[in-house]
Structure 1
Amino acid sequence: MAGKITLSDLNKTLSEMNVQSLEGVKIEGDIEIELDAGAGGVGPLFAYYFGQEAAKIAMQLMNFAKAVGYPVENLLQPVAVASAIAPAPKDLAAAAAAVPAFKVASALASAKFSVGIDKTWRTPIQEVTLGATKANGGSRGHVVKLGGEKAMPFFPDAAMPHAPKVTMDVFDMPIGMAKAVKMHYEDVINSPGEWAKKAVKKFGADMVTVHLISTDPLLKDTSAQDAVKTVEEVLQAVDVPICIGGSGNPNKDPIVLSKAAEVAAGERCLIASANLNMDWEKIGKACVDNGHVCLAWTQLEINSQKELNRKLMKVAGVPRDSIVMDPTTAALAYGLDFAYSNMERIRLGALKGDEELTFPMSSGTTNAWGVRESWMVRSPNKDDSDWGDRMLRGPIWEILTGYSLAMAGVDIFMMMHPLAVAYVHEITQSLMGRIDAKTPDTAAWLKMGV
């Protein structure tokens, strides 16, 4: 049985052998062309293109024969084979162009959009009440409710029972602030009571956070007995629920916060905060004994948050409806991404049934002002681009920090700049469908009645 070889293989073999021409060599062979069987005969368009391809094959064979030395010109003369492929007849070319490459639909395919429901979200977030009215043994004009969600924020799976809230910072002594913030508080910076009033009546704060930073041994080292007088002053100045914070000193805070819890007994304040690096048990028991809510603060670590929550419940005896988490808000570099991811993991874990995480979350959104880009006049790098007006940069940074973390599940924001407060309120309320968001005049947005 004769072997088979393609023309390209033969040409390649001769080239590799550096054969320029062949003399006295006879090449015999058959060309077989297979066509699919079909009925109805061969159409003129097919016949034309088939003939064109056959002619191309013949031309290639003649070129090969010429390359090996055969006088192909003698063959062309008697049969009058053209040296080039003739163009298609006009009528056949037009017919080919009229055939579309694919069929174009006359209309879009019908489809129905439906919102999917995540069936793994089976556990609701614990509802926590801050503040106590006279009917409940306190003196607040109203209460603030957090939590109760059954889905991620603003998702269609389940309506949010309570809108995110804002508590504005008040300090018991003057502190250094960015110019964009300080300009709003210069007239009240020496009076915590008046400061609290301005935050509530002018800036629309839902709550007020009293920071007893003067108790820090590295500052004034104010005694717990003297520090709690500021708490009493603020309680008398406003009737909204309040949050009471210390200085952050791990040795002094348990003493100060325990005393503050006693002075504000029955008001159901948010005591900020207990963490694993201080006497969390003392703070937790002070909350239980005086009817307050404990803020459990950890540093961007979900397992530490679970551990602290577990200890507050099982060791200090804090009820589930008296715990709010603060997983830490880091607003610099990629810290915001880290904070968001951590909070989102906590909320998703809670909705899926992790009983140690099913609590409302708080964000120290004021930390946005710790980023140098939010308050510096210009970049310290002379080759850097212009950062723009710092009076705009700072509030924008705080707004975006709050808005981003609202998407992760934060229920209450601790904030400072009045415009940032207004925008976070408006954004979250509009996402809930409670208000129609306005389009502000971006050229004068800092005024906005503040």
Structure 2
Amino acid sequence: MGEKLNISDLNKKLAEMDVKSLEGVTIEGDIELEIDTGAGGVGPLFAYYFGEEVAKVAVQLVNMAKAFGYPVESLLQPVAVAQAISPAPAELAKAAPEVPAFKIPDTLKSAKFAVGTDKTWKTQIQEVQLGATKAEGGSRGHVIKIGGEKAMPFFYDAAMPNRPVVTIDVFDMPIGMAKAVKMHYEDVMSDPADWAKKAVKEFGADLVTTHLISTDPLIKDTPAKEAVKVVEDVLQAVDVPIVIGGSGNPEKDVEVLSKASEVAQGERALIASASLNLDWEAIGKSCAANNNVCLAWTQLEINAQKELDRKLMKVAGVPRDSIVMDPTTAALAYGMDFAYTNMERIRLGGLKGDEELNFPMSSGTTNAWGVREAWMVNSPNKDDSSWGDRMLRGPIWEILTGFSLAMAGVDIFMMMNPIAVAYLQEITQSLMGLVKAETPDTTNWISMEV
């Protein structure tokens, strides 16, 4: 007589004999299924219907055997099988738990909706001062402070201590521009100082950004010592805080920006910028030594931003109140979505206590003009619909780029078109309650002809 084993016993014996696998082995025996229909096992109704399903399988097997010519009648009467497949007895059906009928409620369940700051926002964003007055060792007529927020932008129960500001781009040489931008600066493009004056006096710029693009070896390769004279001219032409940018050449910019920081010593100028693909340490140390602010630029990558900020503080010795982040602005489709999400994550991280991210942010909003939809007359695709008037389309693109990123927490916007500047200033200041914006009559904006 064979030994009675269950599956676990068989596995145990094979393990004791160190059997890894079985090949060409046949295990013979009968299989027994034990089903407990008592209180601790399955219920009687379940057992009944389980038996019904087994009977159905048996019928199928019987029919298959008959198809192969086996005389199954001598083993099993089909009539008996058919009788077995019948509805459950009434007493078993009554024993099954009754499922309550679904009832549509007469009223909706009440719920509370509240708008307010998040309790996890426990860390204030670092406040940074741009510009320094004569009493502070500079020459600016006033200073601008950014940052200092305790919540995401424009929350009614968490007033922003400092409003978002706009800096208008100025270049040290004439450059190609979209018509909607160039028309405003054609008369001053040959003189950066006059350009800066116009940006402040006529277009209301809070700051001006002087881009020393002529220093690029592929353009004019202007020596750093000569190029920074433009910075001196701009400092004399306007009394607002300034931003100083290079050409984007990673080798030349280190020398140019370090020299510019020396020329603007004590002015709390924003030096743009230190990044991981150039000598960030030299630029950071120059900012710290000359009491200027360092713009930490990364390319849409939050961990790179943390790394750069950490290195500027711990290696280059840049004080916390002298760092502004530029996580990169992309202005088209997925790019805008990515830029917004990245900036929002950075701001939320800063509010929740990440000391490598709780700094003010800057946006290169002029990147909006880098996409063809902002400046081309029309679509290059002949089958495409009209893109509309580019003289309006471009500024609208810049406005929406800036406003979108304002909602993510940006504090300073680098812009070009004066119309876009005016609208973004009005939108952000009206959201803060600083100005009262007029609501236009939109009733005649849409018309329809049948």
In structure 2, the partner of 1:196 is 196
Shift of 1:111: 7.5
User: Which sections of structure 2, spanning at least 5 residues, go unmatched?
Assistant: 1-89, 91-102, 446-450
- CA distance in 2 between partners of 1:103 and 1:197 (Å): 68
* Contact persistence 1:180–1:394 (CA under 8 A): yes
In structure 1, the partner of 2:275 is 275
Shift of 1:158: 1.6
In structure 1, the partner of 2:130 is 130
Given the superposition, is the C-alpha separation of residues 205 and 116 from structure 1 closer, same or farther in structure 2, using an over 3 Å criterion? closer
> Which amino acid in structure 2 is aligned with residue 162 of structure 1?
N
Shift of 1:134: 0.9
In structure 2, the partner of 1:285 is 285
* Contact persistence 2:117–2:151 (CA under 8 A): no
Shift of 1:151: 0.5
Given the superposition, is the C-alpha separation of residues 413 and 217 from structure 1 closer, same or farther in structure 2, using an over 3 Å criterion? same
In structure 2, the partner of 1:119 is 119
Shift of 1:114: 3.9
* Contact persistence 2:117–2:158 (CA under 8 A): no
What does 1:352-371 correspond to in 2, within 5 Å? 352-371=352-371
Residue 412 (structure 2) pairs with residue 436 (structure 1): no
- CA distance in 1 between partners of 2:245 and 2:104 (Å): 70
Given the superposition, is the C-alpha separation of residues 113 and 215 from structure 1 closer, same or farther in structure 2, using an over 3 Å criterion? same
Kindly name which structure, 1 or 2, has the bigger radius of gyration based on alpha carbons: 1
In structure 1, the partner of 2:142 is 142
In structure 1, the partner of 2:411 is 411
Runs of at least 4 residues off by over 6 Å: 101-105, 108-112
Shift of 1:436: 1.4
In structure 2, the partner of 1:11 is none
In structure 2, the partner of 1:347 is 347
Shift of 1:334: 1.2
In structure 1, the partner of 2:236 is 236
Residue 257 (structure 2) pairs with residue 257 (structure 1): yes
* Contact persistence 2:153–2:408 (CA under 8 A): yes
CA deviations on 1:346-387 (whole Å, 9 max, x unpaired) are: 001111111100100000000000000000001111111110
* Contact persistence 1:118–1:157 (CA under 8 A): no
- CA distance in 2 between partners of 1:433 and 1:181 (Å): 29
Shift of 1:212: 0.2
Shift of 1:109: 9.1
- CA distance in 2 between partners of 1:142 and 1:389 (Å): 39
Give the alignment's Cα RMSD to 1 decimal. 3.1
Shift of 1:117: 3.6
- CA distance in 2 between partners of 1:406 and 1:374 (Å): 20
SS at match of 2:129: strand
* Contact persistence 1:131–1:138 (CA under 8 A): yes
- CA distance in 1 between partners of 2:116 and 2:259 (Å): 50
* Contact persistence 1:295–1:326 (CA under 8 A): yes
User: Which sections of structure 1, spanning at least 5 residues, go unmatched?
Assistant: 1-32, 34-100, 446-450
CA deviations on 1:381-410 (whole Å, 9 max, x unpaired) are: 111111011001100000000000000010
* Contact persistence 1:193–1:237 (CA under 8 A): yes
Given the superposition, is the C-alpha separation of residues 116 and 153 from structure 1 closer, same or farther in structure 2, using an over 3 Å criterion? closer
Shift of 1:104: 6.9
In structure 1, the partner of 2:314 is 314
* Contact persistence 2:170–2:209 (CA under 8 A): yes
* Contact persistence 2:163–2:411 (CA under 8 A): yes
- CA distance in 1 between partners of 2:218 and 2:442 (Å): 43
Given the superposition, is the C-alpha separation of residues 103 and 207 from structure 1 closer, same or farther in structure 2, using an over 3 Å criterion? closer
Given the superposition, is the C-alpha separation of residues 184 and 116 from structure 1 closer, same or farther in structure 2, using an over 3 Å criterion? closer
In structure 2, the partner of 1:151 is 151
Q: How many residues align?
A: 361
In structure 2, the partner of 1:387 is 387
SS at match of 1:408: coil
Given the superposition, is the C-alpha separation of residues 442 and 117 from structure 1 closer, same or farther in structure 2, using an over 3 Å criterion? closer
- CA distance in 2 between partners of 1:226 and 1:235 (Å): 15
* Contact persistence 1:208–1:242 (CA under 8 A): yes
> Which amino acid in structure 1 is aligned with residue 394 of structure 2?
G
- CA distance in 1 between partners of 2:111 and 2:385 (Å): 48
SS at match of 1:129: strand
- CA distance in 1 between partners of 2:354 and 2:177 (Å): 40
Shift of 1:332: 2.3
What does 1:72-91 correspond to in 2, within 5 Å? none
CA deviations on 1:48-85 (whole Å, 9 max, x unpaired) are: xxxxxxxxxxxxxxxxxxxxxxxxxxxxxxxxxxxxxx
In structure 2, the partner of 1:58 is none
Shift of 1:113: 5.4
Given the superposition, is the C-alpha separation of residues 102 and 309 from structure 1 closer, same or farther in structure 2, using an over 3 Å criterion? closer
**TM-score (norm: length of structure 2):** 0.74
The farther-off stretch of 109-118 and 216-225 is 109-118
In structure 2, the partner of 1:168 is 168
**TM-score (norm: length of structure 1):** 0.74
In structure 2, the partner of 1:372 is 372
Shift of 1:110: 8.3
SS at match of 2:261: helix
In structure 2, the partner of 1:295 is 295
Identical columns (%): 80
In structure 2, the partner of 1:18 is none
Residue 182 (structure 2) pairs with residue 182 (structure 1): yes
> Which amino acid in structure 1 is aligned with residue 378 of structure 2?
R
> Which amino acid in structure 1 is aligned with residue 181 of structure 2?
V
- CA distance in 1 between partners of 2:441 and 2:224 (Å): 47
Shift of 1:159: 1.2
Shift of 1:118: 1.1
What does 1:15-94 correspond to in 2, within 5 Å? none
* Contact persistence 1:261–1:271 (CA under 8 A): yes
Shift of 1:229: 0.7
Shift of 1:115: 3.0
CA deviations on 1:148-190 (whole Å, 9 max, x unpaired) are: 0011111234211001000000000000000000000011111
